[in-house]
Amino acid sequence: MVNFNDVNYLPWLIPLAPLLAFAIIALLTNRSRLVPATSHEYGGHHPDYDGMLVPVVAPWSRVLSIVVGMSGVTAAWLMSLVVFFQGINTSKLGFEDHIFASSRNWLATGVDAFRIGIMVDPLTVVMLFMVPLAVMCIFIYSIGYMAHDPRQARFFALISLFAGAMLTLVVADNLLLLFVGWEVMGLCSYLLIGFWYEKKSAYRAAIKAFTTTRVADVIMLLGIVYLYSMTGTLSFRDILYNHEVLDMLAGTPALIVGSWGISAAGLIGVFLIIGTIGKSAQFPLHVWLPDAMEGPTPVSAMIHAAAMVSAGIYAIIRMYPLFEAGGHPHSGEFTLPLLLMAVVGAFTALFAATIALTQNDVKKVLAYSTISQLGFMMAALGIGAYIAAFFHLITHAFFKALLFMASGSVIHAMEHGEHHLHEEHDHDEHGEHAHDDHHTHDAHDSHDSHDAHDHHETAGEPIDRDEVDEPAHPHFDPQDMRNMGGLIRNIPVTAWTFIIGGISLAGFPLLTAGFWSKDEILADAWFVWSETSSVVHVFVFTMLVMAAFLTAFYTARQLSMTFLGNHRTEEASHAGLGGPRNVVSITMQLPLVILAFFAIVAGFVGVPPDFPIFGSIFAPEGNPFFNFVKYSLLTEMQPPKPPFNAFPVLMSFLVALGGLYLGWRMYGRNPLKAGEPDPMTKILSPSVYRLLQNKYYIDELYVAIFIKPAKWFSKNVVVVFIDKGIIDGTIHLIARVFTWIGDLFKVLNLWLIDGVGDGIPQGIAKFGVWFKRIQTGQVQQYMLLVLVAILLMGLIFVVSAGFFQLS
């Protein structure tokens, strides 16, 4: 029996709450009816619906679904808080001392059964603080963001499932259950990225995301299968906290590749890491993540921050002793999985950051920055900075969820501005007669929040607007930063929270969470390098410092282009969330404020104790985060705490402030004018080059050393050559080869096998002709035939059996 007072049972209920919400919404409250797409009940996110009946959620269904979804996630959050406080009040919560755990049989096969169970160790406790909080913010935000989508009920069902899957993964006590959550999240990402499935680009992106991650997942599944066949269990406790098992895995040569000196642990580790490379969008499987922007913005926040990509890193952190088995990164001894992580992570961090420099889409910049930041964590794990990577995972989740939702808010405001503009034109230029042609428009004349969603219904009119205002922009893109500018005056709350998230991402020193976590990774790398002069550590250190610099730069660029300067378009000057006090405005900005708070303070739990001044304030008894989380590993596996060293901290200061300053220099101090090209393109022309050379010698040097090569590299080498050329090319090639093999098989099938198979039927064609003649439709004849056949068989049998018996 489940005893609800026992804390061991509470974690069971945490994922169940959103899963139950999913079931209730999907089965009971998601009720819709069909109306013509032109009806104004239909919010009109997409013009593709025209001319057909579309399902519209009944108002009661919409409200009820929101209530159910919110209740599920709120319940999960409250229960998580209980577990969280219980956890942090338990001194030395860990495997050796206390652990909340329970499990039961799930899939019985053979002697052992696969058990599903839950387990709460320090990692889980920390995740249970972050995930439900971020998810809840996303839910609140979705109330406003999806307020006029005709399928809002379904949306809440799916994100509830998403949240439930993520929480399942977090509390899982074995790899099988973790994989279940992992896959269900993949499914949810597929359904949510393709949420607006009428759009070709949306379902294409959904398929791309699903298949790319699926390739990695299947390889991960092989790792799980291999691990199980070696150990006979998938429970974390039995594998990861058991020296004998780990030593056995590290000592056994791997299947097939064992002769190359790879141990079973190494091969299993590589398989599992490939799973993470797919899920956490690391090079070379990162291609799906930027496309995943096709989904609604809350989904982007879910995928990029709270759930999906974090799950990949979390899985590695969870399984860490397995990857470490047989090596010791802190003395410079690497195992194959660690090396793979370090190289892939460090490369991805820099690679994605360079791409982010050149993006103009407000969400795309953030997408590449996510890839880059996950690379940081991956690289940190590769060099043994286990706790630092986990710390960065947590802080990143807060500020990235914030950034995505803030960007969604910006986009929403721009759409509102665009719509507002149409309205004015309607009144100014068309006068009364225009209304005859635009019935649907009339309904929206009131300037309520509703209007923000209706821009597509007025899509029939942009010709008017274009002729008058903006011949340069026939299709207005509300996500393009070049169309923005000066938005801080329109949407101050969004802008300030966005800026807080941005500087946290950039690692603005001392104040922000991003600084403390990023600094810890660099300090770890630096410390081990100085101790052992390990080449991998110095490689990782260098790559990450460069990536950190670029991060700060593109963040400054983004903040400047979006919020600073003057409105570059008419739309931007009319942007807004429909006044200060309405549902959309409140639900879309409240979560930003909550997350902004954590984007600042979450860092102070991980201040190193020997850090000047701050150490004595925030960590008088040692780094609290470090001291809590380290008990998720066995004592002898716990990483050493690097002593304070000024060099990596100075580097952190330098790259963060330098990048931000440089970005501000280029985009904030001299804001872009409407229609003006990106200054970096100008840099490439001689006149601007001279101007810069004369005025800012140091800037020019940076441009020559960093920006121009980085820009050129990211544009010409990374995007065009590697991303589009090699990776997409390879995928296309594989697709083509598969197609070709399929065709070959098809032909083979037709000629070779059917050829042989057909020989016999042709031989019996005469029988067929005869048979056709007796197919008179008389059932009695058929029945007779069947009976005769059976009798005949029986007779043959009796005779032959009798014959055999006699002989």
Partner 1 sequence: MSFTFPVLTAIIFIPIVAAVIILFMNPKQRDLIRGTALSTALVLLGLSAFVYFSYNGEVNRAGGLLESQEELVVNGGDLVASQMFKDGLRFEEKYNWVDTLGISYHVAVDGLNAPMVLLTGMVAVAGVLISWRIEDRIREFMAFFLLLVAGVYGVFVAVDLFLLFFFYELAIFPMYLLIAGWGWVKLREYAAMKLTLYILIGSVIAFVGAIAMVITANSFFNTEAGAAVFAQAQQSGLLSTTAPKFSFDIIQLTVAAEAGAFNALGYFGVETLTFATFWFPLIFIGFAVLAGVFPFHNWSPDGHVAAPTAVSMIHAGVLMKLGAYAALRTGVQLMPEGAQAHLPWIVFLTLVNVVYGAFIAFRQRDFKYVIGFSSVSHMGLVSMGWASMNVIGMTGAGLQMFSHGAMTALFFGCVGMVYDRAHTRDIPSLGGFIKKMPWVGFAFIIGGLASMGMPGLSGFIAEFPIFMGMWAASDSVTLQIGGFTLSNYYSIMVIIAALAIVITAAYVLRVTSQVFFGEFDAEKYPEVGDIAITDRVILLLLGIPLILVGMMPFLMAPMVQAGVNPVVAMLGGL
Q: Using CB under 8 A, which residues numbered 761 to 790 contact partner 1?
A: 761, 764, 768, 772, 775, 777, 779-780, 782-783, 785-786, 789-790
Among 17, 175, 184, 633, binds partner 1 (CB under 8 A): 184
Residues in 223-262 that interact with partner 1 by CB under 8 A: 225-226, 228-229, 255-256
Q: Shortest Cβ distance from residue 248 to partner 1 (Å)? A: 15
CA distance 324 to 266: 9
Among 616, 677, 742, 795, binds partner 1 (CB under 8 A): 742
**Does residue 107 bind partner 1 (CB under 8 A)?**
yes
Is 727 a binding residue for partner 1 by CB under 8 A? The answer is no
> Please, what's the b/e burial string for 207-217 (b: 16 or more CB within 10 A of its CB; e: otherwise)?
ebbbebbebbb
Nearer to partner 1 by C-beta: 107 or 698? 107
Nearer to partner 1, 109 or 687 (CB): 109
Q: 382 by DSSP, 3-state: which? A: helix
795 binds partner 1 (CB under 8 A): no
759 binds partner 1 (CB under 8 A): no
Task: Return the H-helix or E-strand segment holding 284.
Answer: none
In the complex with partner 1, the residue whose CB is nearer, 27 or 463, is: 27
Burial of 252 (0-12, 13-18, 19+ CB in 10 A): middle
CB nearer to partner 1: pick between 236 and 539 = 236
List of residues 6+ apart from 136 with CB closer than 8 A: 73, 74, 77
Phi-psi region of 112 (alpha: psi -120 to 50; beta: other; left: phi over 0): beta
Distance CA 681, CA 37 (A): 43
**For residues 229 and 685, which CB has a smaller minimum distance to partner 1 in the complex?**
229
- Residues 328-367 binding partner 1 (CB under 8 A) are none
CA distance to 145, 146, 352, per residue, from 586 (Å): 11, 13, 34
What tokens does 174 get?
């074995």
Let me know the angle formed at the C-alpha of 166 by 160 and 167, rounded to the nearest 5 degrees: 90
Contact window for partner 1 (CB under 8 A) among 93-101, 219-227, 303-311, 335-343:
219-227
- Residue among 81, 82, 222, 488 that touches partner 1 (CB under 8 A): 222
Burial group, residue 775, by CB count within 10 angstroms (0-12, 13-18, 19+): exposed
262 vs 559, beta carbon nearer partner 1:
262
CA 791 to chain centre: 66
From 313-321, 374-382, 450-458, 793-801, span contacting partner 1 (CB under 8 A) = 793-801
Instruction: Quote the least distance from Cβ 162 to partner 1, whole Å.
Output: 13
Per CB under 8 A, does 791 bind partner 1? no
Q: Does 793 bind partner 1 (CB under 8 A)?
A: yes
Min dist CB 547 to partner 1, Å, is 31
Please identify, using beta-carbon distances, which residue of 158 and 513 lies nearer to partner 1: 158
Residues 55-74 that bind partner 1 (CB under 8 A): 55
Closest-CA residue to 294 (of 156, 197, 370, 365): 197
* Residue number with CB closer to partner 1 (684 or 801): 801
Among 89, 446, 687, 805, binds partner 1 (CB under 8 A): 805
- Concatenating the DSSP letter of every residue in 442-491 gives HTT-S-SGGGGG-TTTTTT-HHHHHHHT-TT-SS--TTBGGG---GGGT-
Residue among 229 and 670 whose Cβ is closer to partner 1: 229
Say if strands 32-36 and 53-57 run parallel, antiparallel, or are unpaired.
Answer: antiparallel
Geometric angle at alpha carbon 369, from 363 and 374, rounded to 5°: 130
- CA–CA gap between residue 650 and residue 545 (Å, rounded): 11
**Category of 18 on φ-ψ map: left (φ > 0), alpha (ψ -120 to 50) or beta:** alpha
Interface region with partner 1, contact rule CB under 8 A, candidates 101-109, 274-282, 316-324, 627-635:
101-109
In the list 105, 201, 331, 616, the residue contacting partner 1 (rule: CB under 8 A) is 105
Per CB under 8 A, the list member of 7, 215, 488, 717 interacting with partner 1 is 215
- Compute the distance between CA of residue 123 and CA of residue 391 in angstroms, rounded to an integer: 10
Q: Does 754 bind partner 1 (CB under 8 A)?
A: yes
**Residue from 328, 673, 690, 746 binding partner 1 (CB under 8 A):** 746
DSSP letter (8 states) at residue 679:
H
By CB atoms closer than 10 A (0-12, 13-18, 19+), residue 7 is: middle
Q: Binding to partner 1 by residue 1, rule CB under 8 A?
A: no
Site for partner 1 in 525-564 (CB under 8 A): none
Tell whether residue 288 is a contact of partner 1 (CB under 8 A). Answer: no
Q: Verify binding: residue 743, partner 1, rule CB under 8 A.
A: yes
Radius of gyration of the chain (CA): 30
Q: How many chain residues are in contact with partner 1, going by CB under 8 A?
A: 76
Tell me whether residue 94 or residue 275 sits nearer to partner 1 (CB atom). Answer: 275
Could you give the CA distance from residue 419 to residue 428 in angstroms, rounded to a whole number? 14
Is 47 an interacting residue with respect to partner 1 (CB under 8 A)? Answer: no
Asked if 110 interacts with partner 1 (CB under 8 A), we say: yes
Per CB under 8 A, does 218 bind partner 1?
A: yes
Judge contact between 322 and 269, C-beta under 8 A: yes
Q: What three-state secondary structure class fits 410?
A: helix
Span from 1-9, 189-197, 600-608, 644-652 in contact with partner 1 (CB under 8 A): 189-197
| CB nearer partner 1, residue 113 or residue 583 | 113
Stretch that binds partner 1, among 202-210, 475-483, 663-671, 683-691 (CB under 8 A): 202-210
